[in-house]
Amino acid sequence: MLGRDLSSLGGRDLRRARCDAAVIFQQIALVKQHSAFENVCFGALGRVPLIRSLVSRTFPSDVRDRAAAALQRVAMLDKAWQRAGTLSGGQAQRVAIARAYCQQAGVILADEPVSALDPRAAQEVMELLADLAYSDGLAVLSVLHQPDLALRHADRVVGMKLGQVEFDRPPGELSPEEIGGLYAHLHEA
Amino acid sequence: MPAPPPVADASNLAVSAPPLPAQPSRGRSRIIAYVAGLLVLAFVVYSWSNVQGSVSALVNGLFAKKGIFRDVFPHSVPPDSHELWPGVQAAVTTLCIAVLSIALGIVGAIAMLPFAARNITPSRPLYELARLTQAILRAIPELIMLLFFLITVGFGPWSATVALTFHGIGVKGKLFAEAVEEMDMTPVDALRVAGAGRLQVFVHAVLPGVRNTLLALTMYRLDANFRSAVTLGAVGGGRDRLPDRQRTERVPVQGRTHVHRSS
């Protein structure tokens, strides 16, 4: 990634490399006992000096400002002090996107970000991710199991089957047959 | 009024039962289970004879002339007013021993936690070392631990507190570590992947994740420590410094409720 072989890194170098890519998880992975705002701040832990990072009140003001801006971006500013464990799935995933945004990485990797969400929340999350890519110029790479979501939001769709790349094209150039072909083998057996 | 909808006839709902595949026989394992059960039962019966169990001895003892019901209770109710205040003081000391040893023990157990939980430890040898230390602290009975500190620190409640602290680090250290090993690791991984350091991850993801479990374990250990403090107070870890002429007649038990007057 970014010209580095991550598997060869360790310790401090690996930590620094991790700061350059934000990850969004299928399981959302917020710290449930903390507020939405603190969770967003945690995205920046990699660049906060250790001594100021142990209590969220002492986080540097630029991190706090960035976190507030991130929450506003995902329309969760009014829920800033709500405990993450009490948010709905869609709200929690939006906070997780704010956390990734607060990390200020150039790359966002999303691992099935909408698998646990209802269609409407999934739509919102995909729109936010697409907006980060198109408005902020971030590289967003997302794994999806719903081809229609990929066709609607992505500017490049990579189809994979049994670990092999089947196609790699803009969504406009894809036919339904090609997409259906990805899943055909699952129903043969 | 429209007629109520017809009630579904239960016999129509019943599906014809498909033939269930034969349940695999557990022949051997079932015999082994019976044998094991019999062995356990036999050992329970043997234990009764080994400890010289006797219902009549128990009943006769309780109701004997010097027993609880015919001698001790009648003499200690109502309590002697001279004994009341020292008794309250001793009970307060017992509580202080329990609370302080818990507080110090928590500090020790949490300090070891980043190493003692397998899923967050920085290295396997450090994990083994932490768990071994805790096992040793647990293996030494509180009474033996107290004897050691009575000799080195001196008689009194401080020795009891130190003994319970060290024993508690062994117990709470293990319980806390197991709580961390059982916890949901996804937030921990999320912070780690965002570039957070070990201490940052520990403070912001691990501790919040197990906070409630640790609190519950601590409350449970508090009553265990209170119980132990009563015992340790009786053998030199109490307020009544031994030897004390005035008090030799008494059993120096923390929070004593009765003084047996042999006359």
Domains of chain A and CATH, by start: 15-144 (3.40.50.300), 156-189 (no CATH)
Q: Is B199 in Cβ contact with A33 (below 8 Å)?
A: no
Is B259 inside a domain boundary? no
Best mutation target, B184, B188, B189, B193, to test chain A (most A CBs within 10 A): B193
Considering only CB atoms, which chain A residues are within 8 Å of B189?
A: 25, 29
Q: Looking at A20-29, B32-41, B161-170, which range is the least confident one?
A: A20-29
Tell whether B69 is covered by a domain.
Answer: no
Question: Which one of A15, A31, A34 has the shortest CB-CB distance to B195?
Answer: A15
Of B186, B196, B208, nearest to A34 by CB-CB distance is B208
Higher-confidence position of B154 and B261:
B154
Q: The tokens 């929070």 sit on which residue?
A: B255
What span, in angstroms and rounded, lies between the C-alpha atoms of A89 and A159?
A: 27
Nearest to B208 among A31, A43, A48 (CB): A31
CATH classification at residue B235:
1.10.3720.10
State the pLDDT at residue B5: 64
Tell me the HSE value of A175 on the side-chain side, using a 13 A CA sphere. 3
Are B160 and B41 found together in one domain?
no
pLDDT for B253 equals 47
Q: Do B204 and A31 touch (CB under 8 A)?
A: yes
Residue contact B204–A42, C-beta within 8 A? yes
Nearest to B203 among A19, A23, A54 (CB): A54
Measured between alpha carbons, how far is B137 from B172 in angstroms, rounded to an integer?
A: 11
Residue at B77 is within a domain? no
Cα B31 → chain centroid = 36
Give ipTM to 2 decimals: 0.85
Are both B148 and B108 inside the same structural domain? Answer: yes
- What are the average pLDDT values for consecutive 10-residue runs of chain A, which has 189 residues? 71 82 90 93 89 86 90 90 91 93 91 89 91 89 87 87 84 80 72
Are B219 and B89 in the same domain?
Answer: yes
pLDDT recorded at residue B245: 39
Would you say residue B3 lies in a domain? no
Same domain as B153, residue B48: no
Helix segments in A82-167, DSSP class H = 89-102, 119-136, 147-153
- Higher confidence at residue A134 or residue B79? A134
Average pLDDT, chain B: 84
Pairing type for strands A107-111 and A139-143 reads: parallel
Contact B194 A25 (CB under 8 A): no
| Residue B251 pLDDT exceeds 50 | no
Would you say how long chain B is, in residues? 263
Rounded distance between C-alpha atoms, residue B26 and residue B4, angstroms = 52
For residues B127 and B212, state if they share a domain. yes
Domain span at B89:
82-247
Q: Is B200 close to A45, i.e. CB distance below 8 A? A: yes
Q: Which residue has the higher pLDDT, A182 or B32?
A: B32
| Contact present, B101 and B161 (Cβ < 8 Å) | yes
Q: Who wins on pLDDT, B73 or B235?
A: B235
Contact: A54, B200; criterion CB under 8 Å: yes
Residue to mutate among B191, B204, B212, B213, with most A CBs inside 10 A, is: B204
Quick one: pLDDT at residue B7? 59
Is A1 near chain B, with CB under 8 Å? no
Same domain, B160 and B58: no
**B203 shares a domain with B98:** yes
Residues of B in contact with A99 (CB under 8 A): 190, 194
Do B210 and B142 share a structural domain? yes
A33 and chain B in contact, CB less than 8 A: yes
pLDDT for res B187: 93
Distance between A136 CA and the closest CA of chain B, angstroms? 19
Among partner residues B187, B195, B208, which is closest to A18 by beta-carbon distance? B195
Q: Which two tokens stand for residue B8?
A: 């579904």
Whether residues B122 and B90 share a domain: the answer is: yes
pLDDT at B12: 58
Residue B23 in any domain: the answer is no
* Confidence grade of residue B61 (pLDDT, cut at 50, 70, 90): confident
The whole-number average pLDDT for the span B30-56 is: 92
Q: B202: distance to nearest CA of chain A, Å?
A: 10
Across residues B217-223, what is the average pLDDT? 93
Residues B50 and B90 in one domain: no
Task: Tell me the CA distances in angstroms from B38 to B25, B26, B31, B33, B35, one per residue in order.
Answer: 21, 18, 11, 9, 5
User: Out of A118-132, B105-119, B170-184, B239-253, which region has the weakest mean confidence (pLDDT)?
Assistant: B239-253
Q: Chain B partners of A27 at a C-beta cutoff of 8 Å?
A: 186
Nearest chain B Cα distance for residue A124, angstroms: 22
Residues B58 and B86 in one domain: no
The nearest CA of chain B is from the CA of A113 a distance in Å of 13
Cα distance from B193 to chain A (closest Cα, Å)? 6
Q: Phi and psi (nearest 5°) for B98?
A: -65, -50
pTM of the model: 0.76
Among A95-109, A133-147, B135-149, B237-251, name the one with the lowest average pLDDT.
Answer: B237-251
Query: Are B59 and B88 members of one domain?
Result: no
Residues from chain B contacting residue A32 (CB–CB below 8 Å): 187, 208-209
**Counted domains in chain B:** 2
- pLDDT tens-digit profile of B100-124? 999 999 999 999 999 999 999 999 9
Of A27, A32, A103, the CB nearest to B194: A103
Give the whole-number percent of chain B exceeding pLDDT 90.
53
User: Which one of A22, A29, A50 has the shortest CB-CB distance to B186?
Assistant: A29
